[in-house]
């Protein structure tokens, strides 16, 4: 019989993205060694939390509203939002360790104290986030997986959207930014099925960025290459 779980009880979850790129600089290695553990949101991994006990977000952020950014890339948007909104606590999730190291450097420089970092698969984080605990979520320029046979790997599929909907409060806001037209198509098909309403009323609502937006390096690359950003806003039902 084929096992469908790890010895810890964790479900087998295929992960297709990059976990590490080119070698880290000495300063980035120091950020990981010195800062990452203190910025953990709590026991997320199956080895440290096999019972999948929910995170104590009240203790973590002192009762502040909780936001979530899934796949923060180099962390510029995450640090920007933390600086603009010290009244909230933000968890960033990113399995690509080079991006995590970049974020830690930005956190040191900005001096923001309302961020926590999960350097791993967001599906593991969804397991331990309390139900209806997140008031805003960001999915910005996710991996497009352009080949048709790979579309099931995209974030805008039930495997990701259903647990995301579980942890978001009624009325919570979900922002998705992408420069891939077919990703827009799939998002508009799948996100409402998970319990979200698309909030656009006119073309400007998806053609123009949000008022507190900061253009990321991924967006700048898309613009240089002639691709058009789309900014999709959904509301949890």
Q: Which residues are catalytically annotated? A: 143
Please state, in angstroms and rounded to a whole number, the distance separating the CA atoms of residues 155 and 142: 7
Calculated CA dihedral for residues 55, 57, 58, 62, nearest 10 degrees: 140
Q: How many C-alpha atoms does 87 have within 13 Å on its Cβ side?
A: 1
Query: Residue with structure tokens 């806001």?
Result: 173
Indicate left, alpha or beta for 168 from its phi (over 0: left) and psi (-120 to 50: alpha): beta
Please state, in angstroms and rounded to a whole number, the distance separating the CA atoms of residues 132 and 129: 9
Strands (DSSP E) contained in the chain are 66-70, 89-93, 115-118, 134-140, 168-178, 196-198, 230-236
CB atoms within 10 A of CB 43: 15
CB atoms within 10 A of CB 23: 9
């Amino acid at each position: 019989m084929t096992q469908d779980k790890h010895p810890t009880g964790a479900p087998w979850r295929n992960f297709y993205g990059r976990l590490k790129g080119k070698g880290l600089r000495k300063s980035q290695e120091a950020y990981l060694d010195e800062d990452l553990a203190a910025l953990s949101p709590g026991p997320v991994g199956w080895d440290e939390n096999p019972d999948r006990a929910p995170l104590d977000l009240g203790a973590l952020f002192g009762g502040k509203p909780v936001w979530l950014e899934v796949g923060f890339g180099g962390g510029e948007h995450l640090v920007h939002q933390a600086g603009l909104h010290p009244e909230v606590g933000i968890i960033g999730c990113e399995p690509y360790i080079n991006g995590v190291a970049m974020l830690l450097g930005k956190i040191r420089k900005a001096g923001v104290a309302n961020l926590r970092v999960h350097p791993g698969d967001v599906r593991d984080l969804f397991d331990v986030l309390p139900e209806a605990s997140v008031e805003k979520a960001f999915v910005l320029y996710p991996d497009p997986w352009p080949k048709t046979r790979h579309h099931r790997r995209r974030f805008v599929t039930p495997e990701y959207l259903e647990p995301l909907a579980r942890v978001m409060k009624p009325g919570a806001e979900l922002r998705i930014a992408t420069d891939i037209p077919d990703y827009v198509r799939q998002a508009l098909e799948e996100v409402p099925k998970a319990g979200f309403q698309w909030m656009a009323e006119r073309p400007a609502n998806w053609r123009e960025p949000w008022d507190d937006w900061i253009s990321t390096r991924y967006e700048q690359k898309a613009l240089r290459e002639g691709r058009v950003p789309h900014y999709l806003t959904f509301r949890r039902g």
